[in-house]
Amino acid sequence: MKIVVLSAVLALGLAGPIAAQSTEKAAVVRPGDVLRVTVWRDQTLSGEFAVSMDGTVAHPLYRELTVAGKTVPQIEAEFRTLLGRLTTQPQFVIEPLVRISVGGEVRTPNLYTVPPLTTLSQAVALAGGVTDRGKLNRVRVFRDGQELVVDMTRPEEGLAQSPVQSGDQIYVDRRVSIFREYIAPAGSITAALAAIANMILR
């Protein structure tokens, strides 16, 4: 009985990494993503090139390749055929990069191009981290029309360690301060009214 239970636990433990690897391999490139192409000893063919809205690569030579909706192995095969027309046994590396946005209460809100295995917590750190007014326990991720709320009080655990996806919009909410948002403004208004009343009564 113990052997059966142990086997089941091991199977479940291995299922996660295997499933993650399968998902990673099956990931496809989307319009707006970027391909980092490195061709051995040829800087003119190397660089980071955006995937256009029509699915092609934004490069004069690579423009004939439609890469959107294809996996990296499929894209590599097409590049090998194309580069094979220019040189024998081309040596190259292709790395897909995804575009995400990080906004809200972060120090450097912006659009970022990152490797697919970048975690949500790493993406926030890339944007300079959360400001003093950021709400770490409520970081919202907008993905494919859905909203995901992530608790990043422990960035090394849970959903904070899940990888970003192409087109993710990460938004850090602002922490509400009763004094800053309500008491301080009310005090300023009261002081202003008192000053006006004092001027009138003179």
Query: Which pLDDT does position 176 carry in this prediction?
Result: 75
Query: Which pLDDT does position 178 carry in this prediction?
Result: 52
Query: Which pLDDT does position 20 carry in this prediction?
Result: 41
3-state class (DSSP) for residue 47? strand
Q: Is 131 left (phi over 0), alpha (psi -120 to 50) or beta?
A: beta
Confidence of residue 190 (pLDDT cuts 50, 70, 90): low
∠ CA 20-24-26 to the nearest 5 degrees?
A: 115
Give the chain's mean pLDDT.
82
Confidence of residue 45 (pLDDT cuts 50, 70, 90): very high
Confidence of residue 7 (pLDDT cuts 50, 70, 90): very low
Q: Is 181 left (phi over 0), alpha (psi -120 to 50) or beta?
A: alpha
Asked whether residue 26 carries a pLDDT value surpassing 90, the answer given is no
In percent, how much of the chain has pLDDT > 90? 65
Q: What is the mean pLDDT of residues 80-101?
A: 93
Q: What is the mean pLDDT of residues 108-112?
A: 97
179 against 28, higher pLDDT: 28
Domains and CATH numbers, the chain: 27-90 (3.30.1950), 99-174 (3.10.560.10)
**For residue 167, what are its two tokens?**
């087109």
Asked whether residue 6 carries a pLDDT value surpassing 90, the answer given is no
Poorest-confidence range of 8-17, 116-125, 146-155?
Answer: 8-17
Query: Which pLDDT does position 88 carry in this prediction?
Result: 85
Confidence of residue 188 (pLDDT cuts 50, 70, 90): low
In percent, how much of the chain has pLDDT > 70? 74
Query: Which pLDDT does position 19 carry in this prediction?
Result: 38
Cβ distance 170 to 110 under 8 Å?
A: no
Q: What is the mean pLDDT of residues 53-69?
A: 95
pTM: 0.70
Query: Cα separation of 75 and 59, whole Å?
Result: 15
Query: Which pLDDT does position 169 carry in this prediction?
Result: 97
